[in-house]
Every structure is written in C-alpha cells, then in structure tokens.
Structure 1
C-alpha cells in the first residue's frame, strides 16, 4: 500500500482544530505525538465497558480488564521482538524505566566500576546514572560527540575497559535527531561484560524495534512518543537479567508472601510492577501499536526523511539560520538557532501563527553547553506531517526573523 498522509490526518481529531485563528501545524512530535481516534476509542471503551482493577477481582469486569491488560503486554512483546511476555514491564514512561534499572545497578556497582553515557543524553539518562555513580562510588565516563552532533564511535571504543560495568545511550537524540549505531556499540560493550540500556524514547517513534537484533539488556520507551497515552511506558529487559533484579517499588501486586517480619516477591512481571497500574494507558498503548502496524514501516520512514530533507533544504536557504546537529544519520528532528533571536521568541512568534514547535535546552543542558548554544528551536516530524506544513514552518520563521530584526 502507498502511504496516504491525507487519510492518516483524518484519523487525528486534534489536527483539524485552529490555534490563534490559524490551522494547527503541529511540529512538536519529539515531545509528544498526537493520538489517532483508534487510541481514543480504546481508552473510552475501557472506561465505559470494563473499568475494573486487574488480577485481583473475582468478577467478570476484572477478568475482562485483565485479559485486555495482558493481551496488551503480548502486543508490546511482539512489537519489540521480546522472547517472553514477562520481559515487558509497565512503567510510567522512559524516565521511570531508566530509574528502575539504575536503582538496581547502583546496588551492584562498586568503587572502580565504570558507567558510560554520551554527551547527547537526555537528563533522564544522564542524571540518573550520575546519581547512581555518586551512591556507589563508581566512575561516570562520557563519550564525546563531534561538532555535527554525531557520536565519536572511536572514542566510545577507547573508553571501554575491563572496568566498564554499564553502558547507557540513546537510540536517537531527542535534541538533535542523531541516530546512534546502537547494535555495533552494544556488541562492543557486551564483549567487555557490561550491561547495556538503550533509551528508546525517540527510537520507538520511527519504526519497529527488534531488541534481539540490537543485543541490549534493557530497552525503555514511552507510549506518548508513539501515538499512545501519556503516563505509560515500557521497560524491556532480558528475562535472565530481570528475574533476580532488585525490586524498585514495594506494595500490592508484587508480593508473594508477607508477614509482619518479612516479605518475598512474586514472579516476573509482577515483582517489578507494584501497585495499581495504568490499565487504560496499557490498553491505549497496545491500540497505538496496532494502529501504526497497519502501515509499512519503510514507507513511514521514507515520508519522514522527505520531510526532514525539505526542512533541511529550506533551513540552508534561510538567512541567519544555523542548523544544530547535522549528523549524516539522523531522523525526525530539525534543531536550529536564528541569528539575533532567542529560541523562546521564535517559538512565541510561530505559535501566534498556529505553528507548534519546542524551544529550550530539551532536557539536555550539558549538550547545549557542548554545542555552545543557550538552547535551540526544534521542529520534529512524524507520519501525519506534510511538506506543506514544512513550507508553512519556514514562512513563519522568515516572518519571525523580520519581526525580530
């Protein structure tokens, strides 16, 4: 089938609204994607047809909610090519997934161990490992990037050592759109005996993920980056790693036995999923993955690359505009600065024209300092964006440029 963006757009109710009297041009997809009607319907159907807690009730609604909830786990497992459904752990998002892993790693690290991250980390990855190293006495090592935003792979290999205990890196940079060679880097880290976590918050939005092919130990992502609800995420981990992983939260659902003196933990995935889960979010995420899989992944990628190519072409034609992050392998993101203009002012003036972008440091302050910018304006693209919207973005930028001159 050929991708019909016009038909896809009709499935997103919010795209038909106006902002400040102008048709909405939504280019903030790296922050959160909009939701198709199929996802909205799944949420409404859960709340109107089988709203109940899972696993605990001896009644029909609870049984039905549990079936949908666990079927969603199977949907995610299949989508990322997990070996077992139990390897899929529900979280509130990528941040919680990374923290769950870091909490366990911090208990196992010791002085002399090394943890590797990159210069392009989101704060959720950088600060989490920074704090884990502080608690454990391990050393944090940072892999540098080149000026164009590409990871310095040679430096990565040089920093690896027999003391490397853990490696964490983004699949795709949220601030720059750089796609990292995670399969190659994972293999190198595993050769040193290190565990590897991939921050997949941006990677999952641009095509199906195969965790077996990547070879990592953990992969974390958020539902709202891939057309699902906010407040739901996934931590995938290899079963043999997760099966004795230190518990993150304690409470209901994750207990096997409990007395006033002690407690024992249940089996996966329950032992890492304390408390009442985001049942509606889980069901909505499965609906989002079902929705996206009706389209050809290569056609989606080609469309998104065409959007980025057009935006890059227009950016290079725009006086005073400088692209931040021009790695040869990137996707979905155009970060830029405009001479004489603060990114926040650009965002404000574009918003007045109905164009939604993101401005600031994108939760990557050290990266911004490395690139010697206070922040950037960031347009990010997905399946429902059009070439006409890219043209509208640059018409808006040129108007803002003249107003700020």
Structure 2
C-alpha cells in the first residue's frame, strides 16, 4: 500500500521529532539534576555545617535573599541577561537567541535550588525551543520554523508531565489559523516528540503527579454542587492573584535594576517562606505530596495560611524577575485549597475537593482548559472524577474567560500563544 501525499509529508519528520523529544527530556533531567544537587548543598549540607536547621525562619530568609542577589547578578552581567522579563513570557514562545541560553539556564538552576516558588516549565521549554530551532534550521532549512517550535514544546511538555497526552492537549489550544491541515496532521510530529520525551523521562526518572489521598467513593448528586462551588472558589482566589500581578510587577520595576529587583524579591520571598514554612518553598510538587501525606497534621487555619503564602510567593517570584513557570506552584495552591474545603466540610470527599480546586486555580492562572483539566485529573488518577471535573470546569471558566491573564503584555511584542 502506497502512502498518500499527506503521509509522505509527515514521514520525514518522525526521526527529527524523536531526536527533539529525547533531547528535550535529557536537557530537562540534566537541569533538574543540577538544581537538586545545589538544593542539597543550600538546604542540607550548609545548614548542617553551621549547626542550624535548614527549615528555620532565619535560614529561609537569608538563603532566599542571597539567591535573589545572585540571580540578579546573573541577569545583569551574563550575556543575554537570562532572556526577556519572565512576567512577559508564556509556556510556548518564539525562539530565543542561543546566546541567551547559558544565562537563562544558570538563573533557573539557582532559583529552583534556592527555594523560589516557580517551576522549570517555562524556561526549559524556551531553552529546548531555541536549541531545536537553531539546530533544526541548519539541518533541514526548508522546514518551517513553527515545526521546530512545536516539536520542542511538545517534547518538553511530554517530559515534564511524563505523558504525551498533556502535550497534545496544550498544542490543540494553540491557534493555527494559517494551517488548514486536519488537527491530527498538525499533531502527528509533535506527538512523536512528546511520546519520545515522556518515555525518556519515565524510564529515567519515573515522575508522578499523583498525591496520597483517599480514593473517590463514588458520585452523588451533591458532589456536582460541591465540585462547582470549589472550582469556582479556587478560580476566584486565582483571579485575585492575576489581578495583583501587574501591580506587583510594576512595583518591582520601579527599582530600576535587576539586582535591586531580584534581591528585594528574594527578601520578600524569604519573609513569606519564614511565615509559611518550608512547605511553601520550591516548585511545590514534592511539597504537595508531603502535605497530603501528613494531612492530619494540618488544620483549616494552617491550610489557608499555606495556600495564601504560596500564592503570594508565586505572584512575587513571577513578577520580580526570577526565571520559572507558574503552573507547578499553582498546583500546590490548589491542593492546599482543596484540603481546606475538605477540612471545612468533611462530607466532601478529599479527592473531589483537591482535584476541583486544582482545576479552578489553573483555569484562572493559565487560561488553558485542557491543561487544567488534565493536571487536575492527574493529581488523583481516578477516572470516576472526570465527569465531575468536566462539569466543575464550566462555572470556573465563566469566571475566568475574558479577564486579564497572569502575563504582562509588552507593546510591540507578540505573545507565544498568538505567535505559535
């Protein structure tokens, strides 16, 4: 059987997609490995050497302030200044110049290791897109630039979430007005890259989003109401942070210099970390598992404190100049809010409350419906919750759609979602 012309156009992209997917995963794993080693030094070995606790308020305050100073120096002095202002960038943006990448990688590693409340998703996606574009255009110059962007974005998202499904869902939300091809033709090569990236990560690192919560006991009519109320409440909390984001960004920009901005940001994050404790530091994935694993140690007041401190830290870190993504820490906020809802109304199953709160907070902060739905479902990994999550997404989306995003629009600059 001969291939159709459409299939013959897709087949040559299989090998490049595999290479980009595997390479995207390996770069993510390398960056994570380096930041983990540095984190061990900053939060375990150095405190032990000085005879203090790495979770003490003083150490948290001093470390985050110092991390802000160091990242500020990187942004100021390293060629390329670690890329554009991260408050203006999304998950998938046009390729950066390669000269920017060393500074960006260094700033990300220091921030991740230093306890900054941001994830690796935006910077590592930007790094992989830039490398795939630069190398791909040399190897296959006739291939459209958008192909390399989509391959690297898909490979990185697949690696981040450990499944190609997340990449397919995110890419399906990117407008493709100039591309008349069927959706699966557009997604074919990116799905190859996402599959290669996710398999590489799973085989090496075994990532998992799932938290330790009691399984969902089964649907009841009242659960529909609970799901919509919790997702809407979480979305409203997220919208408060979105509304505050440009004001906080403007306040830091008035300082006028990256070292001043990031040192001040690190100081504020240190104060927040000292108030909220070690669970409110870092990107939040390990911390949310620790939170749910010791749920009986946290009452409603403490859960509210954790959620608000983490959300404030996310706004500060994202607006003062630290390089990082906002998805992972937002998931922690959703988990804490869901546990709060369960603590206040014990008849609401914890799994339902947590997944709906994650859904609501992500819809408000990312405006990506499929990503929010997928991430919420991945937290519990219970298919019985999926119909309720689909219903819960509707009122939360009505609250969020059409409102400003957690993104600063720079005049004359095209955002990644539109450019892609």
Q: Which has the larger radius of gyration?
A: 1
TM-score by length of 1: 0.27
Select the structure that is richer in helix. 2
